[in-house]
Structure 1
Amino acid sequence: MLARSSRRVGATALRCGARGLATGSEGERPWAKALDEETFGRLRTLLAAPSPVGLEGAMTQGVLEPRLREIIPSAWKVHKFRSQAAMVVDTDPKASDDKLTVMVVGHADKIRMQVKKIANDGKVFIDSDSHLALTLLGRDVAIFSEDAETPGEYRVIRGGTVEALGAIHFAEANIRTGQRGIKAEQLYVELGIHGKNKKKQVTEGLGLRPGDSIIMEKPIRRGVGCNTFTGAYLDNGLGCWVAAEACEQMAQDPAFAETLEKVRVLFAFATHEEIGRFGSRVLAQTFKPDVLIAVDVNHDYVAAPGIASKQMPDLAMGEGPTLSVGSITSAHLNATIQRAARRADIPLQIDVVGRDTGTDAMAGVLASVDAASTSIGIPIRNMHTVSETGCTDDLVAATHLFVETVRELGRQEADGVAFAHPNLTDAKEITSIPAHLFDDEDADGEDSKSDN
């Protein structure tokens, strides 16, 4: 996800471990608390599901479907599909065409590696896909191998690690000094194969063959920083977690029934995002939602090392979810989300995404569907590595942000407010800067800091 600038709206950004009272009857802000063990366990289970691109059923059908079927009302429906392991939970499958339909999309697929070639010495050379080669070295992986004798059945081989150099003693001088990195074609999985017939041990003994999927093995754990967690594949089990938690909130809150009379909600768990957002565009074409909101990870640019000169936006983990502006995002929908954030005192960071959101928010336009779209992001660190790091404050805030956005859309429907597009000829001209800004001391010392 590429972004260029940001600003914050709504609540003052919450610091880790903070407490505060929300407006109205919300009570304590739930995103200011650590997740309890049961909820964190649900998150860990979801992110641990082996769901590489094209094989997402472990997350959608293995984890999400059983849980959501237990909590949704009988009138709701779970949709499944012939072409992919996607799943959609539908609050009103018999809705009329004129009922406002809102789709929230998280993607269940994980970026994968694949077996590319099995060498005579038993090395399993791999395609690293979207991974940066040097971040994979020494990582524990699981290989999911389709049984050639029984197509459609899979075995898993654990205990292998990704390697490229063998012992560091064999590395060339420019690699040892850091002048040159690791090339993707050097990567292989070390399985400890030895003795005779090494290749046959792998191909016939283990049944591995080109195309088998490989994923990293590192379940999430709580981090050292307050309310943080770290592990592999936050991208994008987090979007699915937000959609599932929002589904549970709406299903179990009797007060939300009035909103659902006006708004049909589709909780979509998509596939194939990491290779081109192919799954979500099928869902958009199938259901033709009026509103489409993707929930995906975003970057913590403030903490990212070595990028100060690139003038990236001030997005930060722990300071609330992000809202995309630019690309195909709807100004009216974004304004609605910002109003919802202000009404519920939810922290929100504004992000700029240029030509492409980089998320499933593009699904509507890619499927030629007239859907007002945008993207909500969870800022994380170390994206596409084994040590992705996030803050549960942002995760919970994003869940409540979507719920409150649907509530706000329900109010608009009740008031007969149509989706409108801003007319910039009505913009109010600003001719001066408020005088107090010249006189106030800069408490943060921003004027003394250099962005370079």
Structure 2
Amino acid sequence: MDKKSAHFLKKYLNNASPTGFERSGQEIWLEYLKPYVNEYMTDTYGTVVGIINPKAEYKVVIEAHADEISWFVNYITDDGYIYVRRNGGSDHQIAPSKRVDIHTAKGIKKGIFGWPAIHVRNHNSEEKPTLKNIFVDVGCTSREEVEELGIHVGCVMTFDDELITLNDQYLTGRALDNRIGGYMIAEVARRISENKEKLPFGLYVVNAVQEEVGLRGAQMIAERIKPDVAIVTDVCHDTTSPMYDKKESGYQKAGEGPVLTYGPAVHNNLLNMLIEVADSTKVPFQRAAASRATGTDTDAFAYSNRGVASALISLPLKYMHTTVETVHKSDVENIIKLMHAFLIQLKSGYDFRYIK
């Protein structure tokens, strides 16, 4: 990772991009991507697409999602405390003692998830954090004082945490799910551009919104692009960290390479091509199986436009949907390498149908 990539990654990951409010993150991403694509487009809800060879008939997508989990202000008490509801799959159990940024028309306002001291909780039946009892303190003593800050029902809030490294091998922070994916697909476009490689098809580098609430951005943009092929990248669980059941969740470990998923939405011919490319380029990879759906934007692309050959390349991640999501740097590099190598060898018009 050179200085330019590292600067972009830090700026992009430290920026807040909650579901439904992705604009600022998308602007950062697009600013970095523009020099490496021929043109770009955006849709009504904020998905951004960089395009190489926009006039080509055969269309290939590489995709990640831009949004992060967050909270909404749901209720403000008379004495100035704020109760919340989820925006995406936010974890109420990690909230107490966390700092938050509340996004308002008057700028970001700071708050904290308060919690009673251990001294005063009933140790025989200790109350646990739930959506009914976690609350945010913004230093006010009345609803009116809170509202004077510009905070109202519907304001979105994100945890106040920034990117760090662990042992110079791991990246740790909030929202690696899945802005690290946005970083990886942008780096693929950069390599194609800087290597002056000519693609025989149109490449659509897609950073989709609203994945965390049901793959909504991918559904919208898939119908607009109508691609022939889609390679989606997202995160999956590192199941070797404590408290995972490998018999249920399988074996995936950070540092051992990208994870290639088998499942109904994943096209086997496309998956086999990815495996062949990984073998030929000596990219280590792992395997996973999905029951019914992958739960990623892969599903949205696969079942759009009368069916799109789609595959999923996942990045093993520890501690998903926390503020300390952790990935191995080598896996990030290997996903970029695999996507890049796949695109370079793909022929325009390749027919992935099972029966011809």
Q: Which category describes the TM-score, using the shorter chain as reference length?
A: over 0.9
Once the two structures are TM-superposed, the CA of residue 183 in structure 1 deviates from its matched residue by: 1.2
- Supply the AA of the counterpart residue of 2:266: T
Cα deviation for residue 48 of structure 1 reads 1.3
Aligned: 1:296 with 2:258: no
Aligned partners of 2:172 and 2:327 also within 8 Å: yes
Among 2, 12, 25, the alignment partner of 1:46 is: 12
Taking the aligned partners of 2:99 and 2:50, their CA distance within structure 1 comes to 34
- CA drift of 1:36 comes to 4.5
Structure 2 residue matching 1:345: 3-state secondary structure: coil
Q: Which has the higher strand share?
A: 2
User: Matched residue of 1:307: which SS?
Assistant: coil
Percent identity reads 25
| Contact 2:230-2:310 within 8 A present in 1 as well | yes
SS of corresponding position for 1:185:
coil
Q: Aligned match of 2:50 in 79, 89, 92?
A: 89
CA distance in 2, matches of 1:91, 1:368: 21
Alpha carbons of structure 1 residues 387 and 193: separation in structure 2 relative to 1, 3 Å: same
Q: Which residue of 2 aligns with 1:69?
A: 34
Q: Does 1:111 align with 2:69?
A: yes
Whichever of the two has the greater Rg, that structure is 1
Q: Deviations over 1:154-183 (max 9, x none)?
A: 52112x1112x322233232454xxx5211
1:70 alignment partner AA: P
Note the C-alpha offset of 1:369: 3.7
Counterpart in the other structure of 2:123: 173
CA change 1:48–1:350 in 2 (3 A) is same
Partner of 1:21: none
In the alignment, which of 241, 255, 258 is matched to residue 318 of structure 1?
A: 255
Q: Decide which moves more: 307-316 or 130-139.
A: 307-316
The match for 2:294 is 357
Q: Work out whether residues 263 and 406 of structure 1, in 8 Å CA contact, stay in contact via their aligned partners in 2.
A: no
Task: Give, as a single letter, the amino acid of the residue that structure 2 aligns with 1:168.
Answer: I
- State the match for 1:200 in structure 2: 144
Normalised TM-score (structure 1): 0.75
Aligned pair count reads: 355
Asked if residue 228 in structure 1 is aligned to residue 189 in structure 2, the reply is: no
Taking the aligned partners of 2:190 and 2:7, their CA distance within structure 1 comes to: 16
Aligned residue type for 1:167: A
Closer, same or farther: CA 215–369 of 1 in aligned 2, 3 Å: farther
Q: Distance in 2 between matches of 1:391 and 1:90?
A: 29
1:277 matched to 2:277? The reply is no
Matched, 1:78 2:40: yes
Aligned residue identity for 2:219: R
Aligned residue for 1:295, secondary structure, equals strand
CA contact (8 A) 1:51 1:59 kept: yes
Please show how residues 407-418 of structure 1 align to structure 2 within 5 Å. 407-410=344-347, 413=348, 418=351
Deviations 1:384-442 (A, max 9, x none): 001111111111110111111112213xx4xx86324289xxxxxxxxxxxxxxxxxxx
Residue in 2 aligned with 1:217? 160
Could you say which residue in structure 1 is the equivalent of 2:80?
122
Q: Secondary structure at the match of 1:376?
A: strand
Q: Would you identify which runs of 4 or more consecutive aligned residues in structure 1 move more than 6 Å?
A: none
Secondary structure at 2:250 match in 1: coil
Match of 1:187 among 134, 140, 156: 134
Equivalent-residue separation in structure 1 for 2:246 and 2:176 (angstroms): 27
* CA 173–422 in structure 1, closer or farther in 2 if over 3 Å, else same: farther
Residues in 2 aligned to 1:277 and 1:172: alpha-carbon distance in whole angstroms = 41
Residue pair 1:246, 1:403 contacting (<8 A) in 2 also: yes
- The aligned residue for residue 137 of structure 1 is 96
**Structure 2 counterpart of 1:337:** 274
Q: CA-to-partner distance for each residue in 1:52-74, whole Å, 9 max, x for gaps? A: 1111111112x1111222343xx
- Could you tell me how far apart the structure 2 residues matched to 1:120 and 1:283 are? 43
Cα distance in 2 between the residues matched to 1:193 and 1:168: 24
Gaps of 5+ in 2: none
**What's the TM-score, normalizing by structure 2?**
0.94
1:55-105, CA deviations, whole angstroms, 9 ceiling, x for partnerless residues?
A: 1111112x1111222343xxx111112x21111011122223xx3x11011
Match of 2:164, as an amino acid? R
* Maintained 8 Å contact 2:260/2:285: yes
CA distance in 2, matches of 1:70, 1:91: 11
Against the structure 1 CA distance between its residues 115 and 253, is the aligned structure 2 distance closer, same or farther, given a 3 Å change threshold?
Answer: same
* 1:112–1:215 Cα contact (<8 Å) kept: yes
1:344, distance to aligned residue in structure 2 (A) = 0.8
Q: Secondary structure at the match of 1:394?
A: helix
Alpha-carbon distance in 2 for matches of 1:417, 1:143: 48
How has the CA–CA distance of structure 1 residues 91 and 38 changed in structure 2, closer, same or farther, with 3 Å as cutoff?
closer
Alpha-carbon distance between aligned partners in 2 of 1:343 and 1:310, rounded to the nearest angstrom: 31
Gaps of 5+ in 1: 1-34, 148-153, 424-452
When residues 106 and 391 of structure 1 are mapped into structure 2, their CA distance, relative to the original with a 3 A threshold, is: same
Superposition RMSD on alpha carbons, in Å?
1.9
- The answer to whether the Cα contact below 8 Å between 2:101 and 2:159 also exists between their aligned partners in 1 is yes
Q: Conserved in 2, the CA contact under 8 Å of 1:378 and 1:394?
A: yes
Following superposition, the deviation at residue 264 of structure 1 comes to: 1.4
The secondary structure found in structure 2 opposite 1:128 is strand
